[in-house]
Every structure is written in structure tokens, then in C-alpha cells.
Chains A and B, each alone.
Chain A
Amino acid sequence: MDRDQPLIDLTKQGNISAYEQLVDRYKNMVFTLALRLVGNKEEAEEVTQDTFLKVYDAISNFKGDSKFSTWLYKIAYHKSLDYIKKIKTQPRTNSLDGSYELDFQLMNETWNSLESKEKRRNIKKAIERLEGEDGLLITLFYFEELTLKEIANITDLEANTVKVRLHRARKKLALILKNTLEPETIKCYERAGK
């Protein structure tokens, strides 16, 4: 049985503290996804609030055909798109410089040599530099470990399109990380030379 189901049932009966537990469980993930799309913390928080308000209003219609989280992320995704449309911002685009040739052995060595805090900072910054929906797709796939089918359900895309976009996003992310890690790589070589 889905671990969210008891809380969903209680929420449907009007138990507000059950809904608060659901909110606590998912608020940071929804916020992160909104942030990937709208690119600003204040706006992402507003989208997150709107998402949970909408979910509360519509929870009686949730029949459990999909996972609660998938249904929630779908609402968050559409709320984010609505927000972007409303404020008429252009999707974020970044030009990426550098060769697409990636030396994974060197990248892995450099990555492993980093402190946890540095790793966190680097991966976060790299995702922020991804354009459009790439950051969202890659977060859903690698962090939330959703299947292609589930991501397709959230974004209303074909599973094959998600697969292609994910591959592109993955390559871009690796390139951004490679560029970020280059100074660290030099330090690594310097340390090895001493």
C-alpha cells in the first residue's frame, strides 16, 4: 500500500494535520522543481504555495490511478508553466562553451577528490545553469528516480521525447561540470606533480 494513502484518506475527511504531514513530505521537492523552471526563489515559493492549495482543493478527485507524488509534481509542473506564461518570461538559456569530449576517468577522480560541501555546491550550480525544462527532467530522473513513463505523465510528453531530452540534458550537465571542475583538475595535477 502507498505510504501516502492513509494521509490522503484522512485529508479527504477534513483532517488538516494529515495534510500538513503530506505538505512537509513533499514541499521541498515541489519547491525544487518549481525553482528549476521559474529560476527565482520567491516566485518558486509562490508557485509551491499555489500547488499545495490546488492539491488541497482537488484531493477529493484523486483516485489513486497514479502515485500521489506523480500527481502532485504534475500540478506543480503546470502551475510553474502557468506562472512563466503569466509573467511572460523567456525560458532560461545558456550558451555552453567547450568541447563535448569528456574524460570520465579524470572527471571521476576530480569529483571524488572534492569535499562533500564542494560537491553539493557544484552540482547545484550546474543544474541551475541548465536551460528550460532540462533541470526539471534531470532532477525527476536522477534525484526522485522516476521512470521515463512517470516523467512523461508529469510533463505530458512522449516517453521517447523524455528519453532524448534527458540524454541531451545529461550531456550538457556533464559539460558544465567539466568546465566547473577544470580549475580543480589543474590543482589535482599540481598535487600529483609535487
Chain B
Amino acid sequence: MKEQENKELNLFIKKAFEDLELDEVSKDFNRTLFQKIEFSKKAILSPKPLISRLIWYVLALFVVTLFILGNSIVEINEVFWLSTLKYNTIGNFDWLNFDINELKLNSSIYATMGLTIFIVFQVLILKNYFAKRRVLI
């Protein structure tokens, strides 16, 4: 009896659904959707760099200059202007009067110096960036 009732119920609902039509989205649905997709694609594909291209070029130029000038000055001129400076003329700074010529400057030291400058620079910028967004690191 119950089985028959279920069968009839099922058939009736099936018949009723034959006339059902889907609800339709608004006419500008696709336009809005694909605008959103384009926007999200751009946001993913071209993130704003933390350090602009110009700053990278300036930094690179600075490091290259440091290498070239540093090498040529130290190797060609025996008396480097920095080594002639007397720091004790502005007070009791005798400890600053070290002889720069005693330092063995080679390309490894310059590379380390350059790398340190890059890292310090990036740390400052990154710290500033995350602080603005209140992200704890």
C-alpha cells in the first residue's frame, strides 16, 4: 500500500518537474563575471614589486661602481684618500686611525660588502612593508 503510494508520489512529482524551467541570471552576468576574472588574473600575474625596477638598477649600478672604483683605486694608487684621513683631529678618536692599507681588500670582501648592503636594504623595505599591513614576522 505504502509502496504504491510512494510510486504514485514519485510519478506525480516527476510529471510536475517536466514543466519546470530554470531561473535565469541577469543579462550582464557574463560581462560582470569576466571582468572579475580579468581583474583577478591581473592581480595574480602582475603583483606590485616591493622594490621597484629603478631602485634595483640604482643598487646594481652602485655595487658595480663600488667594485670598479674600489679595485682600480686600491690597486693603482698606493695612497688611497681614505688612508690619509686623520680621525683624531676631531677629538680623541685615536682608535679610528687604522691604516686602511693594512686591510687586505679583495673581490671576496667586496662581494660580501655588496651582499650585506642588499640584505640590509631589503630587510628595511620588507620590514616597512609588513609593518604597514600589520603582519607579524
- CB pair B12–A111 under 8 Å, yes or no, is yes
Report A6-19 CB contacts with B as 1/0, cut-off 8 Å. 00000000001001
Chain A residues with CB below 8 A from B26, complex form = 45
CA distance A110 to B12 in the complex (A): 11
Residue ranges of B at the interface with A (Cβ–Cβ < 8 Å): 5-6, 8-17, 19-26, 29-30, 32-34, 36-37, 40
- CB pair A35–B23 under 8 Å, yes or no, is yes
Can you report 8 residue pairs joining A to B where beta carbons are below 8 Å apart? A53-B40, A104-B12, A111-B12, A116-B19, A120-B19, A123-B16, A127-B20, A174-B12
Q: Shortest distance in angstroms between A152's beta carbon and chain B's nearest beta carbon?
A: 19
A16-B37, A108-B15 known; A28 and B24 CB under 8 Å? yes
Q: Which residue of A lies closest to B20 (CB)?
A: A123
Q: How many A-B residue pairs have CB under 8 A?
A: 90
- CB pair A31–B9 under 8 Å, yes or no, is no
Q: Shortest distance in angstroms between A108's beta carbon and chain B's nearest beta carbon?
A: 6
Chain A residues with CB below 8 A from B25, complex form = 27-28, 31, 45, 48
Chain B residues with CB below 8 A from A41, complex form = 23
Q: Shortest distance in angstroms between B26's beta carbon and chain A's nearest beta carbon?
A: 6
Q: Shortest distance in angstroms between A31's beta carbon and chain B's nearest beta carbon?
A: 5
Interface centre among B13, B30, B32 (most CB of A within 10 A): B13
